[in-house]
Amino acid sequence: MGRAPASSSSGLKKGPWTADEDVKLREYIERHGAGNWRTLPQNAGLQRCGKSCRLRWTNYLRPDIKRGRFSFEEEEAIIQLHSLLGNKWSAIAARLPGRTDNEIKNYWNTHIRKRLLRMGLDPVTHAPRLHHLPHSTSHLNDNLANLLFFLNQQQQMVNPQLLNIATTLLALNQQPNQTLFNDNSTHVSEDEKFDAYAPQIHDHQFQPYNSSSFLQSNNQHAGGFSTSSSTGMDDLSAHESWYGFSSSNVGGCSQMLLPPLVHDEKAAATSSSFGSLNNNQQQQQLSTYTAATPFTSYTSSPLDSSYTSNGFSTEDDIDSILNFEIPDLTELLY
């Protein structure tokens, strides 16, 4: 694993770190503290550049790093945070004690991204990937696909949750040997737990479309969303019906936010170019892009008083909406 031993033209070593190098770096930092990475390698007797030392320390040697598999709760948190922050791996890592941005980024790319794709969700937008769903062969899938097509055409008029549920059902139904309620629980992988968990949450969360309750609650807490023409609010106004559903708790799982559909190119472009925006722009985008995956849940609504007409005012606002609890999976899986 890792890279082949190499050395740069400046004589500095590159590639995987040896145990001896780790000891030198760790002992030096324990004695003198981290920082001044430019001079650290020379002082510590390492033939490495400061950048390499910093990365080794922050990604591997730091004593507070939690190693090992990501728990279900951690994965859930990562998906939630990614839906809010995009590929802001350092920001996500800051909210997951013991995990590094590099670790989370790798885990996202190798595990979670694939899982979302399997579920028929776009890993960038967290939206249903209607264009990418495979053609079905069963009558059930045909019917679901037809329903999806119809709902998609009428999405301004129908409950977006229904559209999301249908999409996920179709995606799950496309998977061979997909068992939603697996009796043979002896060897359930984390991936399988996720796949099994998704439809359960959908069942809990499905509820009649009620845009008025949404608007009322937000008017109470944050004065509601304005209809000003400021950047970002046009998107929100356009999606007013899209966001408008009840925020009441159902079965211990509170409301979910549904992302824009992939074929909404404006929204898709918005999310894909998220990283190129400045902080203010990003915070404005967050107000129109609070998309969680369908199987996530909050105990505090992301649309509560933390939200203003201009989106998040501070990172604390993001923290406040991330104070969610994860239902006990054992009741669902065992």
Interacting residue ranges for DNA, rule: CB under 7 A:
1-4, 6, 8, 13-17, 35-38, 50-52, 54-56, 59-60, 87-91, 101-103, 105-107, 109-111, 114, 275, 278
Minimum distance, C-beta of residue 46 to DNA, in the bound complex (Å): 11
Q: Which of 123, 62, 61 is nearest to 87 (CA)?
A: 123
- The DSSP code for 109 is I
Q: What is the dihedral of CA 229, 122, 301, 243, to 10 degrees?
A: 40
Q: What does each C-alpha distance from 157 to 67, 202, 210, 294 come to in angstroms?
A: 47, 20, 12, 20
Closer CB to DNA, 190 or 234, in the complex: 190
Smallest distance from the beta carbon of 110 to DNA, in angstroms?
4
Closer to DNA by CB, 226 or 273: give it.
273
CB of 113 to DNA, least distance (A): 9
Token pair 């998704």 is found at 198
Compare residues 151 and 267 and give the one whose CB is closer to DNA. 267
Burial of 316 (0-12, 13-18, 19+ CB in 10 A): exposed
For DNA, which is the closer residue by CB, 17 or 214? 17
**Min dist. Cβ of residue 65 to DNA (A):** 10
Cβ closest to DNA, residue 186 vs residue 278: 278
CB 319, min distance to DNA, A: 16
Q: Measured from the CB of residue 239, what is the shortest distance to DNA in angstroms?
A: 24
Write out the two tokens for 229: 């023409």
- End-to-end distance of the chain based on CA atoms, in angstroms? 36
Q: How far apart are CA 38 and CA 34, in angstroms?
A: 11
The answer to whether the beta carbons of residues 234 and 290 sit under 8 Å apart is no
Nearer to DNA, 24 or 54 (CB): 54
